């Protein structure tokens, strides 16, 4: 019921003067509303195309990273950062750069800094991601993450655009309402003046 009322109001806003005479400002507001709705639909189509483009790019990036990055076992050469305040489960979530050594899949030994959890000690082993050169890197982007990121980016862009249109429309309507109110007040003042002039006391 509420939805039908909203749709009815929208229809009357788009067709001012259908049931009653419309002022020029009403027709201007109707044209502006129609333009906002049209631009929103165009923006939705553009957001879909944007999402497809983002998905294609992220999927290609994911495939490239999955093909060139792999995990190795690193051995810490120094202790990790000292334990910080424990979390809910009694485990510290603090990490820090720690010296370690590892072997690449080509058989080359590397020494460098890796992220180690608080409380780790020298000689402890941990799995790290390395790139094609054997340097430490972040976990590769997964296809699932690419699938989630594309529609999210499209939704954010479309929502921001529509919100800007809605704010612009409401701003114009506010100005039109003020102009209509001022015109109504002038008409009312003129009508009252005429009544006072036509009354016996004013004759």
The answer to the question of residue 16 being in a domain is: no
Question: Does 133 share its domain with 184?
Answer: no
Question: Does 119 share its domain with 82?
Answer: yes
Give the model confidence (pLDDT) of 56-70 as tens digits. Answer: 999 999 999 999 999
The answer to the question of residue 186 being in a domain is: yes
| pTM for the full predicted model | 0.58
The answer to the question of residue 92 being in a domain is: yes
Question: Does 33 share its domain with 88?
Answer: no
| Model pLDDT, residue 22 | 61
The range of the structural domain enclosing residue 120 comes to: 70-139
| Model pLDDT, residue 200 | 61
Residues 6 or more apart in contact with residue 128 via CB below 8 angstroms: 71, 72, 73, 74, 100, 102, 114, 115, 136
Residues of the chain with pLDDT under 50: 2, 7, 11, 86-87, 202-203
**Residue carrying structure tokens 């009322």:** 5
Question: Does 78 share its domain with 129?
Answer: yes
The answer to the question of residue 17 being in a domain is: no
| Model pLDDT, residue 7 | 47
Question: Does 76 share its domain with 175?
Answer: no
Note whether 72 and 135 are within 8 A (CB).
no
DSSP 200: G
């Amino acid at each position: 019921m509420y939805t039908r009322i909203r749709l009815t109001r929208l229809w009357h806003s788009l067709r001012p003067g259908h049931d009653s005479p419309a002022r020029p400002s009403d027709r201007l507001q109707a044209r502006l509303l129609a333009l906002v709705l049209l631009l929103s639909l165009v923006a939705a189509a553009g957001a879909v195309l944007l999402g497809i483009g983002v998905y294609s790019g992220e999927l290609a990036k994911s495939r490239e990273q999955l093909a060139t990055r792999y995990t190795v076992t690193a051995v810490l050469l120094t202790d990790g950062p000292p334990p910080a305040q424990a979390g809910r489960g009694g485990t510290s979530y603090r990490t820090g750069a720690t010296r370690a050594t590892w072997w690449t899949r080509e058989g080359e030994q590397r020494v460098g800094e890796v992220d180690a959890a608080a409380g780790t000690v020298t000689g402890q082993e941990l799995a790290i991601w390395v790139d094609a050169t054997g340097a430490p890197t972040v976990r590769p982007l997964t296809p699932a993450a690419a699938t989630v990121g594309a529609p999210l980016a499209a939704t954010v862009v479309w929502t921001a655009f529509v919100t800007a249109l809605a704010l612009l429309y409401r701003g114009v309507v506010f100005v039109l309402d003020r102009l209509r109110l001022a015109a109504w007040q002038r008409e009312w003042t003129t009508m009252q003046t005429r009544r006072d002039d036509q009354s016996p006391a004013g004759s």
